[in-house]
Amino acid sequence: MSAEYGLGIVRLANELQSGKAFTFEENNILTLTNVLAKKIEEKGNQILTLAEVKKIEKEGESFKIFYEKEKEEKTEEVDEIVFATPLNIIKEIFPQLDLDTDIDYFTLKTVFAKGEFKYPQMKVMKGNPGNPANFIILYNLVPEYQVINCPPEQNVNFEFLYHRWKVIDEKILKEALPRVGPKAKVPDLKTKIKGVYLVGDFYYHTFMEVAVTTAEMVAKMIEE
């Protein structure tokens, strides 16, 4: 999922839980990532590298990474790379990988709502465009609040979902979720280039559990 999408969720969750307003500058994702990293470190966790990767080139058996850290342009050579970013972003920063996939990432409308569900079991649901409520994914943000994702041109049928509801916020997010069709070319986690692996949400189920599972699989591949 896109950084803009994730940070939008974080912003609203903070506002709902704290009662305070937060402003996120969409064109400066790295600054926000730095703030989140600081919060993680304050909890006692270690972050070894925090940077914005601009480009990757293969040189012999190793890889050269061009990145920006603390407003400085830097380079570094590594033996292995694990990509945990959307496939379309990987194609931009490392075109040599030449991913053979037809999965693309589509524009999404996210609606933040609060309401009383008609059906109590509707805590997390996945649907397809054209279902009675016109949403792709619906899930709880914090207690009583929901995030509803749908194509930008569609309107959510709130009467199908809720007895009573209130729309808190609505936003169009570009390239937020992967479009994985029934016969889509899903890339292997171990790529054609030795030492390069993929981790992500592109395995027919676009949710965080898949990203975590693929990360565990790649960790085992590297360890072996």
pTM of the model: 0.70
Q: Give the pLDDT band of residue 46 (cuts 50, 70, 90).
A: confident
The 10s digit of each residue's pLDDT in 48-64 is: 767 889 999 998 999 99
pLDDT interval class at 12 (50, 70, 90): confident
Lowest average pLDDT, out of 25-34, 114-123, 167-176, goes to 25-34
**pLDDT above 70 as % of the chain:** 85
Q: Is 222's pLDDT higher than 60?
A: yes
Query: pLDDT of 137-173, one tens digit each?
Result: 787 766 677 888 888 888 888 998 889 999 988 888 7
The domain ranges of the chain are 3-99+186-223, 104-179
Give the phi and the psi of residue 211 in degrees, each rounded to 5. -60, -40
Residue 188 pLDDT: 92
Q: Distance of alpha carbon 14 from its chain centroid, rounded?
A: 18
3-99+186-223: CATH, from 3.30.420, 1.10.3470, 3.30.110, 3.50.50: 3.50.50
CB < 8 Å & 24+ apart, contacts of 143-148: 144/114, 145/12, 145/16, 145/112, 145/113, 145/114, 146/112, 146/113, 146/114, 146/115, 147/9, 147/110, 147/111, 147/112, 148/110, 148/111, 148/112, 148/113
